[in-house]
Amino acid sequence: MRTDSPTPVRLADYRPFPYSIDKVDLAFDLAPSATRVTAKLAVTRISETPEPLKLDGVRLKLLSLTLDGEQVSQDAFTVGDEDLTIHAPPAHFELETVVEIDPAGNTALEGLYVSAGR
């Protein structure tokens, strides 16, 4: 479990997500300490002005990132401890990410984790 205090989100600070995720396909290659997850997202920008796409994710190791089937260059995105930001995505695109997670090492019991050693 996280030990830091959550930051409240006030209604006055709320902004709708600037993108629509129109379709999601997930594939899991399960292994206790190295599960590979492939996510394919059909994404459409709904805001009038271009802005970065920020996706949250904790304890993920990014293995691959493609937009419309093309590998994304290292300077076009940033990977943080808990997020992935694509700086200038097109207005409509298919995003594919391949990440590795460690279910056996996930002691937060959030997301995918091994329960009772199984």
- Work out whether the CA dihedral 53, 61, 82, 118 comes out positive or negative: positive
Query: What secondary structure does DSSP assign to 3-71, as a single string?
Result: -SPPPP--GGG----SEEEEEEEEEEE--SS-EEEEEEEEEEE-SSS---EEEE-SS-EEEEEEETTEE
pLDDT, tens digit, for every residue of 8-60?
A: 878 888 888 999 999 999 999 999 899 999 999 999 999 889 999 999 998 89
Grade residue 2 by pLDDT with cuts at 50, 70 and 90: low
Grade residue 111 by pLDDT with cuts at 50, 70 and 90: confident
Structural tokens at position 86: 């694509």
Report the alpha-carbon distance of residue 54 to residue 3 in Å, rounded: 23
Centre a 10 Å sphere on the Cβ of residue 84 and count the other Cβ atoms it contains: 19
β-partners of residue 37 are: 28, 99
What does the angle CA 101 – CA 104 – CA 105 come to, to the nearest 5 degrees? Answer: 75
SS3 82: coil
Share of the chain above pLDDT 90, in %: 66
